[in-house]
C-alpha cells in the first residue's frame, strides 16, 4: 500500500529542500584535523515517514558533486527528478512507503551546506582560502548531527556509491551500533594510484589557474573557471568507460563532421562531437559548482585510505555490525572491481556478513547512476523481507534436489558454519539454516543466482572460482564447505580442494561417478561418451570438464593426504542400488557424496 | 663479426647527430593539407653501414616526444644512451653490424627538425602560430626526403612504437615497393575515443594557458609552461598502467611520507611520492619540449585514422607488400591490445603476411621502451635469417611428431594455403612449406611458441582460440585448416569447427580416441579414468577437457552436416593396428586424423 504522498511520473512530487542549522558556539564543530567550524548548515531532503521506533532510516550518502536532491520532483513543472530517482520512491528499490529516506549535501559542498563559499560567522566573509581541510569522516560526523536533529534512532541502511561509498563505510565504522545494513556501490578502500594521479593533475590545473588566488576569488569578476572546466573534462573521462566512449563517439559514424573538420576553423580543432561534449561538460560544471568546494571534497577523497588509517582493511571493519552489500561495476576503472573486491575480502576476513555483486555495464563508473535495473533489484532484495511484517505463512521454496539436501543436511552438524561453493540461489544454505540452524555464505558466479540468494537472504560472494579461488578467506573460518555438483567444472580441482580444506575443517564433495556401470557400458559397448541423468550433456558442450570415478577420487585423496570420513551415494536405478549395496560402489554409484578432511 | 665501430657499455660510441637540409624553392615541400614549407631541416642519426645494394636500411620512426638519438652514446662521458639503445647496436636485436639504421627527429618537432620554433625563411621569424598543421603522412614524406638524400634504395624494415607505429604503417602504405618489412609496436589504427578525450583536455590546458598567445610566445619572458607541464602530467599517467602505478606508488609503503603529509604544508598537498613524481615529469618536459611542437604533433596523432581515411582498415592495407610484425602490450590502455588486434585482423583480411605478438608487461604503454627483453627477441628473430648469408647447410629441425607430419603432409595438396590452429613453434607449417611448398599461417597462444615460429619464419597470430576464435579471417582464405591435437582442449569445439570450415575448404582434425580399447579397458576393468601415451594426464590436470570417441566424432559430423573425406589412424600398439585393420576403428584407433569438409 502506497502512502498518501503525491506522485508525478511515478516519482515523489513535490519534494522539499530543507535546511538544518546548528550553532556550536565557542567550542565549534570539531574536525578530524583538530580545527573547528563555528556552525553547521546542512541542506537535506527526506522522503517517506519516520516510523514510531525511528529506525526505518535509509541514509543516502552523495557522491563527489551531487546534491541533496536525490529523488522526486520539486513540482510538476520540474523537468528533471533527483539524481537517483530511479532507485528511490514509493514501490521502488528503496521504498519510501516503508523507509524514511534522507539525503544531504555534504560538508564542504556548495549546494546549501557549509562549504568554502559559505559566510564564516567569525568574520562575516566567505571562508574562501581559509576553509579548513575536511575529511570523509568530518562529512559523516556532520551528517550524524542531522541524523540526531531529525530524531532518528536507528539506521536501517546507509547507502552510497563512489565517494558516497567512502561515507557509508565510515558510517558503519564510526556508528556500529546504529548501522544495521550498509550498501556500497562502485567504491574502493582508497583511490588507486592511477585515480590519485588524475586527482593531482586536476588539482594543479585549478590551483594554477591565474584567477584562483589561493581560494579567495569570490569578489573577483572572473573566477578560476578555466581551470575548473578543464579539471572537470579530465574527471569526466574517468567516469566513463573506454568501451562506452567508443560506442558514444565512434568516429566512423561522424564521417560528415570529420570531413567538415578538415577545414580546421582553429588550428587544432578536430570538430568532433567528443570535443564539444567534453567542453559542454566543463562549461556546465562551472555553472553549477564552486572550485573551492571541488578542491576540498576531492582532497577529502584523496586522503581517504582505510588501510593506512586502520593499519589494515580487516582492522578497519573489525567492529562494524552492519551486514554489507558491496557492488562493483565491470567497466569502472576509477573504482575498479579488483579494489572493490578487497573490501569484500576484508569483510570476509573480519568475519562480517557480506554479499558482493559484480554488475556488468558499459557505462564505467557512472554506471551506478545510469543503469539501475539489476542494481535496483539487488538493493531492493537486500532491503526487502527483513522489514515486511510476516503474514504467518512462510512459503517453503521448491527444491530441485530435495533428496540432495536431506542427505547433505544429515552430514552437517547443528549450528555449524557452512561455506557453499557454487551455491546457486542459496537454497541449500537456506535449507540448512532452517533445518539445522547453520550460518552460511555462498560463492556463485552467475548474477541471476546471486539475486536469488538475496531473495533467500543468503550472503553470497559473486566469484568465478576458476579465476579467483578463495585465498581471501581466513584459515579455519568454516566447519564445513560444500561443493555440490561443481568440482567437475573446476579447472584445477586439486588446488581448490586443498584451499577449501584450509578454510573449512571438512569438505562435502558431490560429483557424478564416471565409473558408473551405465557410463562404462556406454563407452565399452557403444563406444560413445555417456549421456545419462547425471551426465546429461554431449561431450562437446558439457560443463563437466573433469570426469572422474569413485576410484579416481579415492586415489586422489590418498595422494593429497585427505581422509574420506563418509561416503554416500545417490542412486535412482535399481541396478545401481544393488551394485552399491553389494560393495561395488565404483560400478553402482550414480552420484557420490563424500565428506573429506585433512589427515592430521 | 662486429664491425670496427667503437663501443661503450656494449653500445655504439661515439654516435653523431647530423642534419639534412633541403630547400624546396618556390614550390615548397607540399603538405597533405595543401600548404607548403619552403625548406626542410631534419636532424638524424645513423648507425652501421649502408650495403652495396643500399637496401639494408632499418628505419626507426620515433614516438611523440622522442628525438633522433635512438642508440649509442655521444661520448664516453655521456651518461645516458639513446632512447631505444637496448634494441639497437652491434649484436643487438636491430644489429648495426648487419643493418644501416636511421632515426630522425619528426617534422614539427623541436629537436633539430623543422617545427614551429624554427625560423620561417619566408619571414625570418619563428613560425610560432603560423606553422601549418601537419599529418603523420607529412612526417613520413619528410623522412622519405632524408631516405633519398642518404642514397637509400630499399627499406629492409621500418620500425615504430606508439606514434612511431602510425608512421611505420604510413611508410608501408605510401611506399609499398620500398618497404619489405614493418614492425609496429603498441600502436592502433587510430586513437580510441578515450585516448582522444585526454588529448582534447591536454590541448585545452595548453591553449588556455594565458601565456600561450595563439602560439606566438617565443619572444615572451614567460612561455605556456604551466599548461604544458599539466598536459604532460596528464599524458604521463596514460603512458603507465594502473597496476604499474600501484606498485610504484603503493601508499602503504609510504607510511612515513604520509604521516608527514598530515601536516598539510599547503592545503591540498598530499605530500606523496606520486605528486612529486608527476610534477617532476611536468617540469622536466617543459625543459626539453616546446608547447607548439607538442600541440602540432599531438594534433597529427589525433587526426590519424586509417579507417576514415581509407574507408576501411582492410582497404588501407590492400596494397602494402611488407611482411608485418605487430606487437601489443598487455597493460597498454592508450593503445590497447584490442585496437592493435584490429590491425592484425585487417592485415589477415587483406591477405597480408602478419605475425602478431601479445607481450605481457606491467609498464603499460611505456613497456615498449622499458621492457625490451622478449620484444628484442621477437624483433631480432623477425629481422634475422633473411639477411644472413646461407652457409650452405640448412639444419633440419627435430620433429617430435615426425610421423604425424608425414601423415598430415600426405593429406595436403602441393602449394596449398594452410592455417594451423594451435601451431606450436610452427614446425608443421615449416615442414609443409619445405616438403609441399604450402604457404601458411599459424595461430598459437603461448609466447614462447610464437618466438619459435619467428625462428622458423612462420607467420603466426598470438591468440587464445577460446577467447577470440577466428571470426576476423575471411571466408575461404585457406585450402586447409589443421587442428592437430588441439580440438579436445577447446571449450566450444563445435562452434570452432564450423568457423574453421568457413575460412578453409577442408579441416584436418586430429584427436586422441577415447573409445580406444585401452581407455575403455581402464574405465571398464579398473574403474579409472584412463592414462596412456595419447592421454598422458590425470583427470584433474588434463588440458583435454573434451573427451570423444571415433563414433562421437562421426555422430557430430552427421549432425553438423560435415563430410569425413578421409580418416586415418596412428597406432603404436600391435593390438590397435590389428583392431583397426579388421574395421574395429573405434576400438583400435589410438589417434585419429580426419579430413572433413562441409556437405555441399
Catalytic residues of A: 162, 332, 365
Do B555 and A515 lie within an 8 Å CB cutoff?
A: no
What confidence score (pLDDT) does residue A389 get?
33
Q: Which of B200, B230, B278 sits opposite A208 (nearest CB)?
A: B230
Shortest Cα distance, chain B CAs vs residue A494, angstroms = 7
* Helix, strand, or coil (residue B152): coil
Instruction: State the Cα–Cα distance between residues B554 and B585, nearest whole angstrom.
Output: 12
Instruction: State the Cα–Cα distance between residues A65 and B37, nearest whole angstrom.
Output: 49
Do B552 and A308 lie within an 8 Å CB cutoff?
A: no
| Contact between residue A275 and residue A283 where contact means Cβ atoms under 8 Å apart | no
**Chain A residues within 8 A of B548 when measuring between CB atoms:** 529, 539-540
What confidence score (pLDDT) does residue B266 get?
59
Give the residue with greater pLDDT, A578 vs A82.
A82
| Contact between residue A356 and residue A443 where contact means Cβ atoms under 8 Å apart | no
| A482-A485-A488-A491 Cα dihedral, nearest 10 degrees | -60
| Contact between residue B357 and residue B462 where contact means Cβ atoms under 8 Å apart | yes
What's the Rg (C-alpha) of chain A?
28
Q: Provide, rounded to the nearest whole percent, the portion of chain B with pLDDT above 90.
A: 78
**Chain B residues within 8 A of A303 when measuring between CB atoms:** 270
What confidence score (pLDDT) does residue A381 get?
94
The distance of Cα B208 from the centroid of its chain, to the nearest Å, equals 37
Q: What is the pLDDT of residues B436-481, one digit of tens each?
A: 999 999 999 999 999 999 999 999 999 999 988 898 898 999 999 9
Cell of B179: 618497404
**Chain A residues within 8 A of B242 when measuring between CB atoms:** 192-194, 333, 336
Q: What is the pLDDT of residues A192-230, one digit of tens each?
A: 999 999 999 999 999 999 999 999 999 999 999 999 999
Shortest CA distance to B531 belongs to which of A535, A588, A552, A544?
A552
Which of B200, B212, B251 to probe by mutation at the A interface, max A CB count within 10 Å?
B200
Is the pLDDT at A392 greater than 60, yes or no? Answer: no
Banded model confidence at residue A3, pLDDT cuts 50, 70, 90: very low
Q: What is the mean pLDDT of chain B?
A: 91
Q: Which of B133, B190, B493 sits opposite A540 (nearest CB)?
A: B493
- pTM confidence score: 0.92
What confidence score (pLDDT) does residue B317 get?
98
What confidence score (pLDDT) does residue B92 get?
95
**Rounded mean pLDDT, A109-128:** 96
Q: Provide, rounded to the nearest whole percent, the portion of chain A with pLDDT above 70.
A: 94
Banded model confidence at residue A270, pLDDT cuts 50, 70, 90: confident
Is the pLDDT at A251 greater than 90, yes or no? Answer: no
**Rounded mean pLDDT, B546-566:** 94
Cell of A441: 555464505
Dmax over CA atoms of chain A, in Å, equals: 95
Instruction: State the Cα–Cα distance between residues B230 and B202, nearest whole angstrom.
Output: 8
Range in A343-357, B288-302, B400-414, B499-513 the model is least confident about: B400-414
Q: Which residue has the cell 511515478?
A: A10
**Rounded mean pLDDT, A229-235:** 98
Is the pLDDT at B582 greater than 90, yes or no? Answer: no
Q: What is the mean pLDDT of chain A?
A: 91
Do B251 and A305 lie within an 8 Å CB cutoff?
A: yes
* Alpha helices (H) along A445-484: 447-455, 465-468
| Contact between residue B185 and residue B160 where contact means Cβ atoms under 8 Å apart | yes
Banded model confidence at residue B352, pLDDT cuts 50, 70, 90: very high
Written as one string, the DSSP assignment of A478-513 is: EEEEEEES-GGG-SSHHHHHHHHHHHEEEEEEEEE-
What confidence score (pLDDT) does residue B542 get?
86
Instruction: State the Cα–Cα distance between residues A87 and B302, nearest whole angstrom.
Output: 40
**Rounded mean pLDDT, B258-281:** 71
What confidence score (pLDDT) does residue A401 get?
63
Q: What is the DSSP letter of A582?
A: T
Q: What is the pLDDT of residues B65-79, one digit of tens each?
A: 999 999 999 999 999
β pairing state of B417-421 and B478-484: parallel
Helix H or strand E encompassing A10: none
Is the pLDDT at A252 greater than 70, yes or no? Answer: no
Dmax over CA atoms of chain B, in Å, equals: 95
Which of B35, B197, B199, B291 to probe by mutation at the A interface, max A CB count within 10 Å?
B197
**Rounded mean pLDDT, B125-136:** 96
Q: 3-class secondary structure for A187-221?
A: CCCECCHHHHHHHHHHHHHHHCCCCCHHHCCCCCC
Q: What is the pLDDT of residues A463-495, one digit of tens each?
A: 999 988 898 898 999 999 999 988 999 999 999
**Rounded mean pLDDT, B212-227:** 96
Instruction: State the Cα–Cα distance between residues A210 and A216, nearest whole angstrom.
Output: 12
**Rounded mean pLDDT, B225-249:** 96
What confidence score (pLDDT) does residue A161 get?
97
**Rounded mean pLDDT, A276-280:** 92
- Cα angle value A335/A339/A344 (rounded, 5°): 120
What confidence score (pLDDT) does residue A254 get?
53
| Contact between residue A217 and residue A128 where contact means Cβ atoms under 8 Å apart | yes
Shortest Cα distance, chain A CAs vs residue B233, angstroms = 6
Sign of CA dihedral B20, B110, B14, B183: negative
Do A133 and B264 lie within an 8 Å CB cutoff?
A: yes
Do B251 and A523 lie within an 8 Å CB cutoff?
A: no
B332 belongs to the catalytic site = yes
Q: Which of B33, B193, B528 sits opposite A552 (nearest CB)?
A: B528
Shortest Cα distance, chain A CAs vs residue B35, angstroms = 12
Is the pLDDT at A54 greater than 50, yes or no? Answer: yes
Q: What is the pLDDT of residues A140-164, one digit of tens each?
A: 999 999 999 999 999 999 999 999 9
Do B519 and A515 lie within an 8 Å CB cutoff?
A: no
**Rounded mean pLDDT, A311-324:** 97
Give the residue with greater pLDDT, B112 vs A7.
B112
Do B526 and A308 lie within an 8 Å CB cutoff?
A: no
Q: What is the pLDDT of residues A395-434, one digit of tens each?
A: 334 444 677 788 999 999 999 999 999 999 999 999 999 9
Residue of A nearest to B277 (CA): A197
**Rounded mean pLDDT, B362-383:** 94
Is the pLDDT at B520 greater than 50, yes or no? Answer: yes
What confidence score (pLDDT) does residue B260 get?
39
Is the pLDDT at A600 greater than 90, yes or no? Answer: no
Banded model confidence at residue B540, pLDDT cuts 50, 70, 90: confident
Q: What is the pLDDT of residues B315-347, one digit of tens each?
A: 999 999 999 999 999 999 999 999 999 999 999
Residue of B nearest to A205 (CA): B230
| Contact between residue A593 and residue A570 where contact means Cβ atoms under 8 Å apart | yes
What confidence score (pLDDT) does residue B385 get?
45
| Contact between residue B303 and residue B135 where contact means Cβ atoms under 8 Å apart | yes
Sign of CA dihedral A240, A340, B232, B70: negative
Is the pLDDT at A394 greater than 80, yes or no? Answer: no
Within 8 A by CB and 6+ apart from B66, the residues are B83, B164
**Rounded mean pLDDT, B170-183:** 98
Q: Which of B210, B296, B548 sits opposite A539 (nearest CB)?
A: B548
**Chain A residues within 8 A of B208 when measuring between CB atoms:** 226, 230
End-to-end CA distance of chain A: 59
Do B208 and A226 lie within an 8 Å CB cutoff?
A: yes
What confidence score (pLDDT) does residue A259 get?
44
**Rounded mean pLDDT, A286-296:** 97
Amino acid at each position: 500500500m502506497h502512502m498518501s504522498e503525491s506522485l508525478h511520473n511515478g516519482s515523489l512530487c513535490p519534494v522539499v529542500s530543507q535546511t538544518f542549522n546548528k550553532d556550536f558556539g565557542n567550542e565549534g564543530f570539531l574536525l578530524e584535523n583538530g580545527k573547528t567550524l563555528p556552525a553547521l548548515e546542512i541542506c537535506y531532503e527526506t522522503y517517506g515517514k519516520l516510523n514510531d521506533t525511528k529506525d526505518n532510516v535509509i541514509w543516502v550518502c552523495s557522491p563527489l558533486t551531487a546534491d541533496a536532491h536525490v529523488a522526486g520532483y520539486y513540482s510538476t513543472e520540474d523537468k528533471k527528478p533527483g539524481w537517483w530517482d530511479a532507485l528511490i520512491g514509493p514501490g521502488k528499490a528503496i521504498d519510501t512507503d516503508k523507509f524514511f529516506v534522507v539525503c544531504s549535501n555534504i560538508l564542504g559542498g556548495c549546494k546549501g551546506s557549509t562549504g568554502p563559499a559559505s559566510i564564516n560567522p567569525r568574520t562575516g566573509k566567505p571562508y574562501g582560502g581559509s576553509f579548513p581541510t575536511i575529511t570523509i569522516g568530518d562529512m559523516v560526523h556532520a551528517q550524524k548531527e542531522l541524523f540526531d536533529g531529525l530524531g532518528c534512532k536507528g539506521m536501517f541502511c546507509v547507502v552510497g556509491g563512489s565517494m558516497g561509498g567512502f561515507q557509508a563505510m565510515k558510517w558503519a565504522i564510526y556508528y556500529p551500533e546504529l548501522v544495521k545494513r550498509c550498501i556500497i556501490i562502485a567504491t574502493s578502500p582508497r583511490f588507486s594510484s592511477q585515480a590519485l594521479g588524475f586527482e593531482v593533475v586536476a588539482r594543479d590545473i585549478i590551483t594554477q589557474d591565474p584567477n584562483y588566488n589561493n581560494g579567495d576569488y569570490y569578489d573577483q569578476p572572473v573566477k578560476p573557471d578555466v581551470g575548473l572546466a578543464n579539471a572537470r573534462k579530465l574527471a569526466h573521462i574517468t567516469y566513463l568507460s573506454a568501451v562506452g566512449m567508443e560506442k558514444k563517439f565512434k568516429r566512423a559514424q561522424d564521417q560528415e563532421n570529420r570531413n567538415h573538420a578538415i577545414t580546421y576553423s582553429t588550428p587544432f580543432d578536430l570538430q568532433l562531437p567528443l570535443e564539444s561534449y567534453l567542453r559542454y561538460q566543463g562549461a556546465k560544471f562551472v555553472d553549477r559548482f564552486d572550485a573551492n568546494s571541488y578542491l576540498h571534497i576531492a582532497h577529502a577523497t584523496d586522503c581517504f585510505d582505510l588501510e593506512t588509517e586502520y593499519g589494515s582493511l580487516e582492522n578497519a571493519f573489525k567492529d562494524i555490525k552492519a551486514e554489507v552489500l558491496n557492488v562493483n561495476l565491470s567497466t569502472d576503472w576509477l573504482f575498479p572491481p579488483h579494489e572493490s573486491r578487497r573490501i569484500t575480502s576484508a569483510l570476509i576476513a573480519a568475519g562480517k556478513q557480506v554479499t558482493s555483486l559484480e554488475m556488468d555495464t558499459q557505462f564505467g563508473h557512472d554506471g551506478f547512476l545510469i543503469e539501475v535495473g539489476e542494481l535496483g533489484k539487488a538493493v531492493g532484495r537486500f532491503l526487502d523481507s527483513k522489514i515486511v511484517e510476516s503474514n504467518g505463512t512462510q512459503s517453503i521454496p521448491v527444491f530441485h534436489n530435495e533428496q540432495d539436501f536431506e542427505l547433505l543436511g544429515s552430514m552437517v552438524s547443528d549450528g555449524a558454519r557452512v561455506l557453499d561453493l557454487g551455491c546457486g540461489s542459496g537454497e541449500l544454505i537456506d535449507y540448512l539454516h532452517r533445518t539445522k540452524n547453520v550460518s552460511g555464505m555462498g560463492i556463485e558466479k552467475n548474477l541471476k543466482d546471486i539475486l536469488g540468494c538475496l531473495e533467500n537472504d543468503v550472503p553470497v560472494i559473486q566469484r568465478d572460482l576458476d579465476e579467483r579461488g578463495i585465498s581471501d578467506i581466513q584459515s579455519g573460518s568454516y566447519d564445513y564447505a560444500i561443493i555440490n555438483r561443481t568440482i567437475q567444472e573446476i579447472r584445477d580441482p586439486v588446488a581448490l580442494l586443498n584451499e577449501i580444506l584450509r578454510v573449512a575443517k571438512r569438505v562435502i564433495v558431490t560429483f557424478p561417478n564416471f565409473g558408473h556401470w551405465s557410463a562404462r557400458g556406454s563407452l565399452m559397448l557403444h563406444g560413445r561418451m555417456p549421456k545419462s541423468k547425471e551426465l546429461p550433456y554431449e561431450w562437446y558442450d558439457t560443463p563437466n570438464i573433469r570426469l572422474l570415478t569413485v576410484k579416481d577420487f579415492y586415489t586422489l585423496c590418498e595422494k593429497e593426504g585427505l581422509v574420506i570420513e563418509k561416503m554416500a551415494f545417490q542412486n535412482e536405478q535399481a541396478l545401481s542400488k544393488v551394485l552399491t549395496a553389494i560393495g561395488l560402489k565404483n560400478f553402482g554409484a550414480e552420484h557420490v557424496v563424500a565428506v573429506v578432511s585433512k589427515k592430521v
